[in-house]
Amino acid sequence: MLSKMYRWLVALTVCATQLVQATPIQTRESDYFLPNSTGFRMQHGFETILVQPFGFDGFRVRAWPFRPPTGHEISFIYDPPLEGFENGQAHGLTFDTAFNGNHTVAIRNGNTIVRTSGWGGNPGGYRLAFYRIEQDGSESLLTNEYAPLKSINPRYYSWNGPGSEFSAEFSFSTTPDEQFYGTGTQQDHLVNKKGTVIDLINFNTHIPTPVFMSNKGYAFIWNMPAQGRMEFGQLRTKLTAESTTVVDYVIVATTPGDYDTLQKRLSALTGRAPTPPDFSLGYIQSKLRYENQTELELLAQKFKDNNVPVGMIVIDYQSWRNQGDWGLDPALWPDVAAMAKKVKDLTGAEIMASLWPSVSDASDNYLELQANGYLSATRDGPGTTDSWNGSYIRNVDSTNPGARKFIWSTLKRNYYEKGIKNFWIDQADGGALGEAYENNGQSTYIQSVPFALPNVLYAAGTQQSAGKYYPWAHQLAIEEGFRNVTDSKEGEACEHISLSRSGYIGSQRFCSMIWSGDTTSAWETLGLQIASRLSAAATGWGWWTMDAGGFQPDPTVPWSSNIDTPEYRELYVRWLQWATFVPFMRTHGQRVCDNQDAYTCNNEPWSYGEKNTPIILSYIHLRYQLASYLRALFDQFHKTGRMIMRPLYMDFEKTDPKVSQWTQANNNVTTQQYMFGPRLLVSPITTPNVTEWSVYLPQTGQNGTKPWTYWWTNQTYAGGQTVTVPAPVEHIPVFHLGKREDILSGNVF
pLDDT tens, position by position, 310-344: 999 999 999 999 999 999 999 999 999 999 999 99
In whole angstroms, what separates CA 613 from the centre of its chain? 33
Residue 213's beta-bridge partner residues?
A: 181, 219
Indicate the pTM of the whole model: 0.94
Residue 726 pLDDT > 70: yes
Nearest CA to 44 out of 73, 70, 29, 64 is that of: 64
pLDDT computed for residue 660 by the predictor? 95
pLDDT computed for residue 672 by the predictor? 98
Q: What is the pLDDT of residues 79-113, one digit of tens each?
A: 999 998 676 789 999 999 999 888 889 999 999 99
Check whether the bond before 81 is cis (ω within 30° of 0): no
Amino acid (1-letter code) at residue 733: P
- Cα separation, 709 vs 731, in Å, equals 14
User: Which of 190-204, 219-233, 385-399, 430-444 is predicted least confidently?
Assistant: 430-444
- Cα separation, 453 vs 449, in Å, equals 10
Tell me which long-range contacts 319-323 makes (C-beta under 8 A, separation of at least 24).
319/289, 319/290, 319/353, 319/354, 322/360, 322/362, 322/363, 322/364, 323/356, 323/358, 323/359, 323/360, 323/362, 323/363, 323/388, 323/389, 323/391, 323/393
Domains of the chain: 40-178+215-270 (2.60.40.1760), 278-640 (3.20.20.80), 645-745 (2.60.40.1180)
- Cα separation, 427 vs 704, in Å, equals 47
pLDDT computed for residue 119 by the predictor? 59
Residue 164 pLDDT > 80: yes
| Inter-residue contact 42 to 51 (CB < 8 Å) | yes
Contact partners, residue 374, CB within 8 Å, separation at least 6: 368, 396, 397, 400, 402, 403, 406
- Cα separation, 49 vs 94, in Å, equals 12
- Cα separation, 175 vs 622, in Å, equals 45
Residue 29 pLDDT > 60: no
- Please give the span between the terminal C-alpha atoms of the chain, in angstroms, as a whole number: 55
C-alpha dihedral, 522 to 525 to 529 to 532, nearest 10°? -170
Indicate the helix (H) or strand (E) that contains 45: none
Residue 32's beta-bridge partner residues?
A: 105
Strand pairing category for 422-425 and 350-355? parallel
Residue 360 pLDDT > 50: yes
Q: What is the pLDDT of residues 552-578, one digit of tens each?
A: 999 999 999 999 999 999 999 999 999
Nearest CA to 55 out of 273, 349, 261, 337 is that of: 261
Give the pLDDT band (50/70/90) at residue 525.
very high
Rounded percentage of the chain residues whose pLDDT exceeds 90: 83
**What is the SS3 assignment for 405?**
helix
| Inter-residue contact 587 to 578 (CB < 8 Å) | no
Strand pairing category for 180-185 and 207-214? antiparallel
Q: What is the pLDDT of residues 493-503, one digit of tens each?
A: 999 999 999 99
Q: CA neighbours within 13 Å on the CB side: how many for 304?
A: 14
Q: What is the pLDDT of residues 688-711, one digit of tens each?
A: 999 999 999 999 975 556 899 999
Residue 98, phi then psi, degrees to nearest 5: -130, 140
Q: CA neighbours within 13 Å on the CB side: how many for 365?
A: 28
Nearest CA to 29 out of 64, 4, 3, 58 is that of: 3
Q: Which residues are catalytic?
A: 426, 518
C-alpha dihedral, 646 to 652 to 658 to 662, nearest 10°? 20
Q: CA neighbours within 13 Å on the CB side: how many for 287?
A: 21
Summary mean pLDDT of the chain: 92
- The better pLDDT of the pair 20, 545 is held by 545
Give the pLDDT band (50/70/90) at residue 444.
low
pLDDT computed for residue 410 by the predictor? 98
Give the pLDDT band (50/70/90) at residue 2.
very low
Contact partners, residue 251, CB within 8 Å, separation at least 6: 58, 59, 61, 112, 130, 142, 143, 218, 219, 220
- Cα separation, 749 vs 737, in Å, equals 12
Strand pairing category for 112-117 and 127-133? antiparallel
